[in-house]
Amino acid sequence: MSKIEIKVPNIGDYKDVEIIEVLVKNGQDISKGDPIITLESDKSSVEVPSDYSGKITKLKVNVGDKVSEGDLILEIDSKDTGIKKDKKLENNLSEDIDKIPKEIQKPKKIISNIQNINTNSDLVLASPKVRKFARELGTDINIIPGTERLGRVTEDDVKRFISHGLNQNQTTKEVDKSKKTTVKIEYEHSEFGEIEEKDIPRIKRLAALHLKNSYNTIPHVTHHDEIDITEMEEFRNSLIDHYTGEKLKITPLAFIMKALVAALKKFPSFNSSIEDMSDGKIYYKKYYHIGVAVDTPNGLMVPKIREVDKKNINYISKELREVAQKCRDLKIDKKEFYGGSMTISSLGGIGGSFFTPIINYPEVAILGVSKLNKKQIYIDNQFKVRTLLPISLSYDHRIIDGAEAARFCNEIRDNLGKNFAFKLAI
C-alpha cells in the first residue's frame, strides 16, 4: 500500500478554476477513472477523474475552492505504484476545458444594448457533452430542469425533458427573447456616476432559473391572513428544559411547521406536485417533508426537514438550526433540496408584514411567514392586546381554488390557536 497524492492535472492555460462539485468523501474507495471533482470555468465544466484506485485518506478541497494545475485534491492509500499517470485522461481534460472559444469568454464591459446579449447558456450547469447533446436535439438547455446537485443538467434530464414534450416552453422563451430585443437601454450606467461591476453569485443565477420557471409556469395567487398566536407564544416562551431548568430556545417556525403538516393531512392537494400539466398527472405525497427557505451569503437555499409529522418541536428546532448552518457552510447534500411537500419562507426574524412568495416548483404551494406583532383586537365586546402572525400563502391556481386556500389558512390558524399549539408540541 502506498500513499498517493492526486493533484489537479493539466488544464491548459486555466488558473484559479472553481470547484463546483466534490464527488467523493473521506474514507471512500475509488477506482481509477472515477470522477472526483468537477471544475468549471466561465463557459465550460469538466469532471476530473482519479488516476489511481484506492481509499481516500485526506480530502483537501471543498466546493467553491479555486484551483490550478498541480494543486493537491486528495490523498489515497493505493496498491498502485504511483508512477503511472493516465496521459489519455489528462489530455482529454485539458482539451475539454480548452474547448471554450475565446470569443465567448466573459465580456469585460457591460453591454448597454440588450440586443447584443447572448442567451444565458452559461447560467446552467451542464457538461459540454450534455450541452452538445441538447443542442443537437434542438433543445435549449436553459429551460431543462436539472436533477443533479445545484440543478446540474444531465443527459437523462435532456432525454426526460424531450420525452415529456416540454419543448412547448421553448415557444414562450422565443417570445421572451423577441420581446427582449425590443428593449433598448439608451445609456451606460456609468454615464450617471461611479459604478462597480460584479459577477452575480452562482447560487443566485441558478435560483433565478428556477424562480423564473415557477413564476412563468404557475398561475400564482397569494392569500394573506393574520393568525392570533397569543397562547402559542405564551406556551413557547414558557418551555423549559427539565434537566437543566433553562429556557428552551425553540423557534416559532417549529410550531408553524407542525401546524402546516396537520393542515396538509387534512388538505392533501397542498401536498402534491404537478410536473407537466399537459400529461394530466398529479402526484400526491404520503410523506411530510417541509422545505425551509434559508438565507445564506451565497443566496437562497431550500433544504427539506424530513418527516416533520414524526418529530417533536424541540427536535425540529434543533434540526432546522443545523441544516441552515450546513447550507451557509455549503456542506449540504444536493438530495436535501429535493422531495419536499411544501415550503415555508419565513422572514419573521427579519421583519415585514406580508409578501408574495414564489412557489418552489414542482410543489403547488408555499407559506410565507412574516414578523409577529402585538395589536389591539376587538374580542368579546372589548379591545384586547393579542399577538398576531402575518401569513401569506401562494398557491397554484390550476389545482387549488381560492376557497380551498382560505380553508387551508383557517386550518393553520386553528392549529396554532389556543390549546392546539400545545398538542403540536408533544
Does residue 242 carry a catalytic annotation?
no
Judge contact between 363 and 273, C-beta under 8 A: yes
**Residue 264 grid cell:** 396538509
Contact 75, 17 (CB under 8 A): no
In this structure, what C-alpha cell is assigned to residue 424? 403540536
**Paired strand residues for 390:** 226
The residue number with the shortest CB distance to ligand CAO is 348
Binding track, positions 20-59, relative to ligand CAO; x by CB under 6 A: ----------------------------------------
Q: What is the DSSP letter of 332?
A: -
Contact string 359-388 vs ligand CAO (x = CB under 6 A)? ----------x-xx----------------
- Considering the rule CB under 6 A, would residue 251 count as an interface residue with ligand CAO? yes
User: Which is nearer to ligand CAO, 60 or 386 (by Cβ)?
Assistant: 386
Helix, strand, or coil here: 167? coil
Nearer residue to ligand CAO within complex by CB, 56 or 293: 293
Please confirm whether the linkage preceding 390 is cis (ω < 30° from 0).
no
Cell numbers at 218, concatenated: 404557475
Q: How far is the CB of 393 from ligand CAO (least distance, A)?
A: 14
Q: Does 206 bind ligand CAO (CB under 6 A)?
A: no
**DSSP secondary structure of 369-412:** E---EEEEEEETTEEEEEEEEEEEEEEETTT--HHHHHHHHHHH
Measured CA to CA, the distance from residue 59 to residue 153 in angstroms comes to: 26
Residues 128-157 that bind ligand CAO (CB under 6 A): none
CB atoms within 10 A of CB 37: 25
Give min distance, CB of 10 to ligand CAO, in A.
Answer: 41
Minimum Å distance from CB 367 to ligand CAO? 11
Other Cβ atoms within 10 Å of 157 Cβ, number: 20
252 is a contact residue toward ligand CAO (CB under 6 A)? yes
Does position 399 interact with ligand CAO (CB under 6 A)? The reply is no
Catalytic residue chosen out of the listed positions 220, 223, 224, 397 = 397
- Which run of H or of E encompasses 4? strand 2-7
**Contact with ligand CAO (CB under 6 A): which of 271, 345, 360, 387?**
345
Q: Which is nearer to ligand CAO, 153 or 290 (CB)?
A: 290
Binding mask 315-334 for ligand CAO (x = CB under 6 A): -----x---x----------
Nearer to ligand CAO, 51 or 233 (CB): 233
Which of the residues 298 through 317 are near ligand CAO (CB under 6 A)? Answer: 300
> Minimal CA–CA distance to 74: which of 20, 2, 3, 13?
3
Which is closer to ligand CAO, CB of 38 or CB of 360?
A: 360
Nearer to ligand CAO, 320 or 424 (CB): 320
CB 389 within 8 A of CB 369: yes
Are 329 and 218 in contact by the 8 Å Cβ rule? The answer is no
Which residues of this protein are in contact with ligand CAO, per CB under 6 A?
A: 249, 251-253, 292-295, 300, 320, 324, 345-349, 357, 369, 371-372, 389
Which of the residues are catalytic? 397
